[in-house]
Amino acid sequence: MALPLADIPRDETKRSATLAEGVRNDEEYSGTKPVEERHRIDEIRLDNWMREHVEGYAGPLTVLQFKGGQSNPTYRLDTPGRSYVMRRKPFGKLLPSAHAVDREFRVIAALGRQGFPVAHAYALCTDDSVIGAAFYIMSMEEGRVFWDPALPSQPPAARRAIFTSKIETLAKLHRYDPQEIGLGDFGKPGNYFARQIDRWTKQYRASETQHIPEVERLIEWLPRTLPEQRRVSVVHGDYRLDNMIFHPTEPRVLAVLDWELSTLGDPMADFTYLLMQWTMPGLADLDLEALNIPSRDEAAAIYCKVTGDHVPDFNWYFAYNLFRLACITQGIAGRVRDGTAANAKAMESAKRTVPLSKASWEYARKAGAQ
């Protein structure tokens, strides 16, 4: 899962990318590269397995690795007649619920049957003896991935259409009845936010490296003030522009990617996480009207028009989302402390915990916290 820059107070961060740099980011993170040595697999065994389990498959097989830093290593598989994508678990010992490629496969298979824009799910392999880890095969959707939300490579009319498609696609996801599409048991019952707050609080405690007063207040306040959960839907969990493929020439979503965090829950979690991106570096400092990008209020209206929902008070939800990100960065800080994530990017992420916590508490105060 890629960690987005969050709503850190303005005096602690500045927008780091110009529009021109955004074009380079799109080029840097898109496409493929030779498979890294640590991610190499037995291509012969994979080829043999696909001949047996993937309808229409015919080799020979050429394997490349996608750029972009997915937590589940992702490969492009080319044959003379067709291209595929393989997502697999990392090699080595993992937490029991981590990197659940079987859940990813299940959700995209179910959504694909409804006509939702996802890659076609071909086959799942849970036998580690084939390539050393569980994996699944899906179709290769040829299109565009945008890494900079300012969309510097696009003309103004396309920018608005791309954002509209992105928002309407999320709204479409949230309209499905999980029971009716075969995902009724895809998540646990009960209040989604209560479960999430409990989960992230435990992770924070397990990784705690310093006392942060704002986090302590949030851990006490958030569970006491849970919003009512009016309905349950499939929740993506990390719905961002760079987690989707757009048509090669048209401003519409072809496939939503990275379902690793998907579950059943409150659609307001996805919706407010989407809207919070307007407060992050990347959109917050732009002249949205000049760029022809919808404002946050316009984005909310697009979503609500499709779902029939009303716009909630964002402050509690923004406090929750930033608390969640603070717990994620605290987990990274814990790994830095333990010597298992001692690289520059991990160190930078770890430093965000305090400003994220402060920003979260500011939203909590706006929502009525004392």
Residue 163 sits in a domain whose CATH number is 3.90.1200.10
Same domain (yes/no): 55, 152:
no
With pLDDT > 70 as the criterion, what percentage of the chain qualifies?
87
Counting Cα atoms < 13 Å in the Cβ hemisphere of 316 gives 18
Same domain (yes/no): 36, 106:
yes
Tell me if 17 is assigned to some domain: yes
Strands (E), the chain: 32-33, 62-66, 74-78, 83-88, 121-125, 135-139, 233-235, 244-246, 253-256, 263-265
Tell me if 109 is assigned to some domain: yes
**Token pair 């895809």 is at which residue?**
186
Please determine, for residue 204, whether its predicted confidence score (pLDDT) is greater than 60: yes
Please determine, for residue 214, whether its predicted confidence score (pLDDT) is greater than 90: yes
Parent domain of 349: 10-21+145-366
pLDDT of residue 56: 95
Residue 93 — very low, low, confident or very high, per pLDDT cuts 50/70/90? low
Tens digit of pLDDT for each residue in 269-307?
A: 999 999 999 988 889 989 999 999 999 999 999 999 999
- Domains contained in the chain, number: 2
Same domain (yes/no): 131, 183:
no
Asked if 193 contacts 266 with a C-beta cutoff of 8 angstroms, the reply is yes
Please determine, for residue 155, whether its predicted confidence score (pLDDT) is greater than 90: yes
SS3 percent helix, strand, coil of the chain, rounded to 5, is 45, 10, 45
Tell me if 2 is assigned to some domain: no
Same domain (yes/no): 151, 134:
no
Residue 236 — very low, low, confident or very high, per pLDDT cuts 50/70/90? very high
Which segment of 34-38, 245-249, 283-287 scores lowest on mean pLDDT? 34-38
Domain boundary, last residue among 83, 118, 139: 139
Tell me if 26 is assigned to some domain: no
Alpha-carbon distances of 260 from 57, 97, 248, rounded to whole Å: 26, 10, 25
Task: For the chain, give the longest Cα–Cα distance.
Answer: 65
More confident: 42 or 335: 42
Neighbours of 9 (CB within 10 A): 11
Tell me if 134 is assigned to some domain: yes
Residues 195-206, mean pLDDT to the nearest whole number:
93
Where residue 109 sits, what CATH number does that domain have? 3.30.200.20
- What pTM does this model have? 0.84
Residues 219-246, mean pLDDT to the nearest whole number:
95
